[in-house]
Structure formats: structure tokens, C-alpha cells
Amino acid sequence: MSEKRILTTPIKSEDLENIQVGDIIYLNGYIVTCRDVAHRRLIEGHRALPVDLNGIAIFHAGPIVRDLGNDKFEMISVGPTTSMRMEKFEKEFVEQTGVKIIVGKGGMGPNTEAACKGQKAIHCVFPAGCAVLAATEVEEIERAEWRDLGMPETLWVCRVKEFGPLIVSIDTSGRNMFEENKVVFNQRKEKAIADICKEVSFIK
Amino acid sequence: MSNQAQIDSMTDTMSAFVALVGKKLPDDVEAKLAELRAKETSRLATTIYDTMAENQALAMKLNRPCCQDTGVLQFWIKCGTQFPLMAQLEQILTDAVLRATVNAPLRHNSVETFDEYNTGKNIGKGTPTLFWDIVPDSDQCEIYTYMAGGGCTLPGKAMVLMPGAGYEGVTQFVLDVMTSYGLNACPPLLVGVGVATSVETAALLSKKALMRPIGSHNSNERAAKMEQLLEDGINSIGLGPQGMSGAFSVMGVNIENTARHPSTIGVAVNVGCWSHRRGHIIFDKDMNYTITTHAEVQL
């Protein structure tokens, strides 16, 4: 197996140029948990985010965090949540923040494709159900912003080391792995149905 | 043992068992994931499987729930009519969930509907959920403990087909779910299919089917054949781990069935994600227990 491909924040557009859908990367530096309400506050509420996301990464995730007191926190468990919920806001979100890597689960749609192409950003999947592993890749939670949103929705500013594997699902050319796969999956599905139906005529 | 001592003993055991189920996958799932990993060749698929294995090892080492979504607890009970704590079982299981919520810890996943607030305890109206089978003339109690996250609960679907649709219609129904919601439900999936009369009978069977071990088959020859056909068919789609493509899609397909009304075919699908957290425990009348799903574990 080839060496780990590691990106370090701050990330520039040219760092992402040669990365394509299906590639596996890892992240050093900063990733901030950012999901439904944070997107809504910025795009619909026009409230400035309390964290500068320019050149760094966001994580569609709602973690379990232990409060150690004195503004110190420990990441216990953090897994990706369904990215599609943020699709409605993501194009403007990327344009306004300059975020470079969006990490989540499952595919996203045409808005995010356009943002990734236009702003030179990527969407990646962190394997879901691997929340303990992800938590151990967080070196430190440096800040916690918008805590009024509660534990799942707080913006947890995480310093991470070799955070991944991150599987690229939308690249800077706007290619979308999930959408491409869907076409193939549906073709295969039709063939599978036809094959099975030849053998299940139990009602005669 | 006094009745209270028995209640305390069973509550202790079930609380520890719930925490175990949230941390360690049952033996059949672990074996199947290892088998599927060995059959994959692409770097993408093998990397995801290796990440899953690493996560499971870390969950044991750090004593944490392996997935952050620990679900709403369900208990599938086969209780003998002579089991001494039959009347106390609901309270025992509720107390066990409450304790596991603090000790495991489990995520707070019980939101009261209409009032729309999270109870913060994993206990609410009808949660944890108990499904009962009563077994005459037995003094033991079998319990399947199950926690499913939101991701693999979402694809659940039931409908009533006209008989003209036949088992061909059942096939179409199941496969359509696989390429729509199934894709995001964390494959490789365990697929449960219920075939009966109406939505509620089919739905119940489809979830019950997920309690059956991977590799087991329906006792009806045709149903067993259909299990295999569906498994091979869904695998041929190549969803791969996380739905990101690979050589396989599922850990298995389990069908449960009953007789049906001549005018209807009720069909339902439920899926379990790769992190299929199911545990089976049997209590005797003295509250001694046997765990069948997880060998060599200590509670």
C-alpha cells in the first residue's frame, strides 16, 4: 500500500487540484464540527460564524464530549451524520466561509458540486460507525463556540492528527462519486430483479 | 433468592448486557465482516473494512460504545409462563436501560413526540420497546437486546401488494429500498424481510428477522431459496462498505413469514447496519444466564 496522503491546514486551492473522487486522504490541523443550525444561522440568519473556517475543514457530526472543567473538553465519540441535510445551505456556506474540506456521511447534491468546483473545495466521507477511532484522532478540542446550541450542535474546534481515512466523494472538478455510483447501482439492480423474478413465480 | 434479590440480579445483568451490546458486535457479525473484508480487493473497500475493525478494537480497549448512535433500545422477549419475574420484566428492563445510559454511556435518544423534548434518559412513552412472545410451560426467559441507530432505521418500509404483484413484486420492493435509502444505511447491511398480510404484521416480522443469526435460513424451502436469491441479487449491485462500491452489499437476507389473506401480500423491509448491535441472553428461573451471541465475554 502506498504512503498515507496527508493534507495540512491551512489548505490552498492548489493542494486539492490533483485529488479525485475515490482517493483516500488524511488531515492534520483543524476541523470544526458544524451541522444543521450553524449552517442555518449563517445562511438564513446572516450571523457571522464565531470561527474562521477559511482554509480549514468542517465535520458534519454531533459528538459526545466530556466536560473536564476550566474550558477543557475531551472527545469521547464523534461520527459523521448525513451530509445531505446540509445540501440546501452548502453552496453559499462554502462561498462565504472559504472552507476547503467538508467531511460527513453519504453523498451531497448539485449545490455542493457547484461549490466544490467554483471554490475549489472537496467533500469527503469518514466511515460511519467508527466514532471511537475518530475521537482518538482528535488531539485536542481547542475551543467550543455557540454552546447555546447544545452538545451535538456546538462548534467544537478540533486539532486533529492524521484524521481519516477520508474518502473523497466530490472533487474540485465537481465529480460526484455517489451520483456516479447510483447510475451503475440502478442498472445492476434492474438486472438483479429480472434474474430473481424468473425463479419466484410461487403463485400459479 | 428472595424476589427482590432476583429483581436486582436480573437488573444488574441486563444493564451490563446492554452496555456490552453497545460496545462489541455479536460473533456472527464479526465473522461475516472479516469474511467480506477478505473477499474485497479494492483499496477503497479494504480501507473501510480495516477502519471498522480498528474502531471495534478501540471500543473494547477504551470501554466506549463503538458507534455514537446507540439507538432506542428494543427487547424481543420469549418469556415462559412460569418465569418468576414475568410481571416485573418491564420495570427491570427500563431500570437496566436507565443505568446503562449513565454507565456505558449511551447517547440520549428518546424524544417525546408532540411535546418534542429529549428525556435525556433513553426512557419515554413506549421506550425502551418490549415485544412479547409467551411460551407455555417454560420457566426461562430469552431476551434479544437490539440497538439500531437512526441511519439504519430510516430505510424501514412496509406496504401491501395486490396478489397479482406476486413474489416478483416483493423482489422489486426490497431491491428498490437497497439503492435508495439502503445506500446511506451503512452497508454491508443485514436485510430483514417480512411477508404476511398487512403492514403491521409484515413490519414486525421484518425486524424479528434481524434477530436471526447471519447464515441461518427460513425453514420453508421456497422462502430460504428467496433469501439466497435476494442476497445474491443485492450483492450483485456492489454497494460495498458505506455504499461507496465494492464486491458485496449485504451480510445476509433473512425472511420471516406468516400466512396471508388471499387478497393481499403484506411486505416490509428493515435493515441492520454493519454495526449490527444485537445480543441474545437466556435466564433460568434462578436468574443464572447464558449469552449465546457473544462467546467468552464477562459481564
For A111-160, what is each residue's pLDDT tens digit? 999 999 999 999 999 999 999 999 999 999 999 999 998 888 899 999 99
Q: Is residue A21 part of a domain?
A: yes
Q: What is the pLDDT of residue B243?
A: 94
Q: Indicate the pairing of strand A57-59 with strand B111-112.
A: unpaired
**Closest CA–CA distance from residue A31 to any residue of chain B (Å):** 18
Please report which confidence band the pLDDT of residue A190 belongs to, taking 50, 70 and 90 as the band edges: very high
Q: Which residues of B touch A178 (CB under 8 A)?
A: 183, 243-244
Say which CATH number the domain at A92 has.
Answer: 3.20.130.10
- Residue A14, domain extent: 6-175
> How many beta-carbon pairs below 8 A join chains A and B?
145
Confidence of residue A2 (pLDDT cuts 50, 70, 90): low
Using a CB–CB cutoff of 8 Å, tell me whether A183 touches chain B: no
Burial of B63: CB neighbours in 10 Å, binned 0-12, 13-18, 19+: exposed
Cell numbers that stand for A126 in this block:
469518514
**Is the same domain home to B19 and B134?**
yes
What is the overall mean pLDDT for chain B? 96
Is there a single domain that holds both residue B141 and residue B285? Answer: yes
Q: For chain A, how long is the longest CA-to-CA vector?
A: 73
Q: Do A192 and B183 touch (CB under 8 A)?
A: no
Residue closest to B68 by CA, chosen among B111, B23, B98: B23
Mutation pick from B37, B220, B244, B274 vs chain A, by most beta carbons of A within 10 Å, is B244
User: For B185-217, what is each residue's pLDDT tens digit?
Assistant: 999 999 999 999 999 999 999 999 999 999 999
Residues B179 and B251 in one domain: yes
Contact B148, A71 (CB under 8 A): no
Residue A202 within any structural domain of the chain: no
Do B244 and A167 lie within an 8 Å CB cutoff?
yes
* Residues B145 and B170 grouped into a single domain: no
Q: Which of B6-15, B64-73, B242-251 has the lowest mean pLDDT?
A: B64-73
- What confidence tens digit (pLDDT) does each residue in B23-76 have? 999 999 999 999 999 999 999 999 999 999 999 999 999 999 999 889 999 999
pTM of this prediction?
A: 0.94
pLDDT at A152: 84
- Which of A24, A132, A184 minimises the CB distance to B59? A132
Residue B238 near residue A185, CB atoms below 8 Å: yes
Q: What is the pLDDT of residues A79-93, one digit of tens each?
A: 999 899 999 999 999
Determine what percent of chain B is predicted with pLDDT higher than 70.
100
Count the Cβ atoms, other than its own, within 10 Å of residue B67.
29
Question: How far apart are the C-alpha atoms of A107 and A98, rounded to whole Å?
Answer: 20
Q: Report pLDDT for B220.
A: 98
Domain extent at residue B80: 3-23+66-149+277-291
Q: Let me know whether B219 and B238 are in one domain.
A: yes
Q: B206 near B256, Cβ under 8 Å?
A: yes
Q: Do B66 and A129 touch (CB under 8 A)?
A: yes
Q: How far apart are CA B130 and CA B89, in angstroms?
A: 10
In a domain, A112, yes or no: yes
ipTM score for this prediction: 0.92
Q: What is the pLDDT of residue B295?
A: 94
Give how far B60 is from chain A: nearest CA, Å: 10
The percentage of residues in chain B with a pLDDT greater than 90, rounded to a whole number, is: 90
Number of domains in chain A: 1
Cβ of B225 within 8 Å of Cβ of A167? The answer is no
Residues B162 and B239 in one domain: yes
Q: Is residue A165 part of a domain?
A: yes
